[in-house]
Structure 1
């Protein structure tokens, strides 16, 4: 798939193709830093665990996407939103979705909320604040509709999937191609999802490898690129039913945006939740375009990309601090 994207973007520009291939090769052979061991799991629900990041005060639970590893929220010592929040007077925890097996094939997105996420959120002595990133924000809204929470903050969370606009046919074609094999396996490999993301912005996919070819291998920028790209290219597969929910119910039919997503018999309406809510929306996001935003009354627009808003150089001032201030104001 990468080579197909490369050909389509650079067929008329052999110099660019050569630079992108050089960047790809440099990425492949770059030394890798050893990742720290995961934080201890203090509770479990099936394959899913709740990892404790310490701190004191109000419990704040971060819910990552199902699609990439959760450690983007604890990416490096200097770019860890979780560790920073734990130092701001809150008790921070992270949901780790784990690795599904074929026994999980029938767990759709609603089941992930009802059977895996909600039991973890119920272990606290008081209702926690939940912070959901990307698809994790969508799932967090589902949890808030069927259990008491102190508040929900979403970061780059899609809700009105019709906002993918021209990207929907390409994503639908990807699903049509892989659906029979996914049904047979009971799982959808992460590589398929990554290929779908590349199709949303193929020019950027190639340009970033062209730029990487020019970086000094031992530079901070090169190490940061490798760390981030390893995260973006990693991740557990999706259970078949969750993949079908994502591609058919959400992207194709926009059930959440139309008010048709139901969990435990409850239609999910983010505008009618009993707890305070806020959404942080990236205006330059190609993975979760601003047009897919929820439409909450408290909406904060950011001029940073899907990942940059979490780990970028301006992430602390643009996102971390406003998020912490919002949580603190709940008192």
Structure 2
């Protein structure tokens, strides 16, 4: 009588259909063109240099006050319109909001002298004015994501435009807490890392260096997405999402040198925003000047921005209507899954003058 092998049940049975799907999808990732990104209907309504202001009409307008998105200068904003049924912008237009997005564009060497002052005063302020005029609304909601939230907060503190609501997600406000190698923080703050010399030499921060910074901060977690792809390559929906995310992750943009100089020195090094010492042009940035209704969103699984970096704005802003929430999401998955649209709607619907 034959005896059962000691390894029976220890070695999993091979699922041939699953393995065929896995390797077919891996071949697809390696051989097919990258997926198309940005499918929600839109119109260009203003352009300055490389930057473009896009308007995404509501499917059926339900709110008087439009939404204006400000995204990070480090990445391209199409993460907000990444795929059908997972798009933040599509979700909000389907819910009845008029949506505007300022795409900063990709600066070239000729843009090396563009600083944060110019981005905020000449680009963002003008774009907000255009959006208000285009929409016919008397007020606007400004939404900032990641560093875009920092920029939106700075702008809101000096804005003369009628901002009804300010929404910021995964936003760094206090730059004292630091995710990344301790030596980086020490080098920045003690002057061992000389950003000024680098910028004077190269003019702009090249995309590969931007990608390298995020790789270093996220390592070794950053590399596990390829392991996850192989593990879940039999799932076509997951593979499609992975391909879109991977395209966005590798699609970094250059960073204008003067803007990065201000960012590195004023925020990373000297933490001037929370100290009330930052200047934009001849204007002092004081977050106490923010009186708009304030909504702050953090992700409990965010491996780039700590909650301790976001929370200080709750105490610094003078808004009478303030809400802070933490959601079960990562830094990117909050946008990648379209979850952010539902969160914005839940808070903004009653504060956007329903028609």
Q: Say yes or no: TM over 0.5.
A: yes
Deviations 1:13-64 (A, max 9, x none): xxxxxxxxxxx99965564223357833111233211111111332211111
Deviations 1:300-321 (A, max 9, x none): 1112100111123xx53xx322
Match in the other structure for 1:301: 326
Q: TM-score, normalised by structure 2?
A: 0.78
Residue 302 of structure 2, aligned match among 257, 282, 285:
285
Match in the other structure for 2:48: 45
Alpha-carbon contact 1:62-1:130 (below 8 Å) kept: yes
SS in 2 for 1:163: coil
Match in the other structure for 2:81: 74
Q: How many equivalent pairs are there? A: 305
Alpha-carbon contact 1:100-1:237 (below 8 Å) kept: yes
Match in the other structure for 2:69: 62
Cα distance change on mapping 1:217 and 1:309 into 2, 3 Å:
same
Match in the other structure for 1:138: 150
- Residue 98 of structure 1: how far off its partner (Å): 1.1
More divergent stretch after superposition (140-149 vs 58-67): 140-149
Residue 94 of structure 1, aligned match among 85, 96, 101:
101
Match in the other structure for 1:242: 259
Match in the other structure for 1:13: none
User: Aligned partners of 1:80 and 1:285: how far apart in 2?
Assistant: 19
Structure 1 or 2: larger helix share?
A: 1
Question: Could you say what the CA RMSD is over the residues aligned between the two structures, in angstroms?
Answer: 2.7
Match in the other structure for 1:321: 342
Match in the other structure for 1:12: none
User: Aligned partners of 2:31 and 2:304: how far apart in 1?
Assistant: 27
Cα distance change on mapping 1:26 and 1:185 into 2, 3 Å:
farther
Query: Structure 1 regions of 5+ residues with no counterpart?
Result: 1-23
SS in 2 for 1:83: helix
Alpha-carbon contact 1:145-1:266 (below 8 Å) kept: no
Residue 152 of structure 1, aligned match among 166, 169, 174:
166
Alpha-carbon contact 1:72-1:231 (below 8 Å) kept: yes
- Residue 74 of structure 1: how far off its partner (Å): 0.5
Structure 1 residue 35 corresponds to structure 2 residue 49: no
- Residue 294 of structure 1: how far off its partner (Å): 4.3
Deviations 1:256-298 (A, max 9, x none): 1222222243332334312111110112211222221143242
Match in the other structure for 2:21: none
- Residue 173 of structure 1: how far off its partner (Å): 5.6
Residue 105 of structure 1, aligned match among 92, 97, 112:
112
- Residue 203 of structure 1: how far off its partner (Å): 1.9
SS in 1 for 2:173: coil
Alpha-carbon contact 2:233-2:239 (below 8 Å) kept: yes
Max radius of gyration: which structure? Answer: 2
User: Aligned partners of 1:265 and 1:60: how far apart in 2?
Assistant: 28
Q: TM-score, normalised by structure 1?
A: 0.83
- Residue 180 of structure 1: how far off its partner (Å): 4.1
Alpha-carbon contact 1:58-1:89 (below 8 Å) kept: no
Query: Structure 2 regions of 5+ residues with no counterpart?
Result: 1-25, 315-321
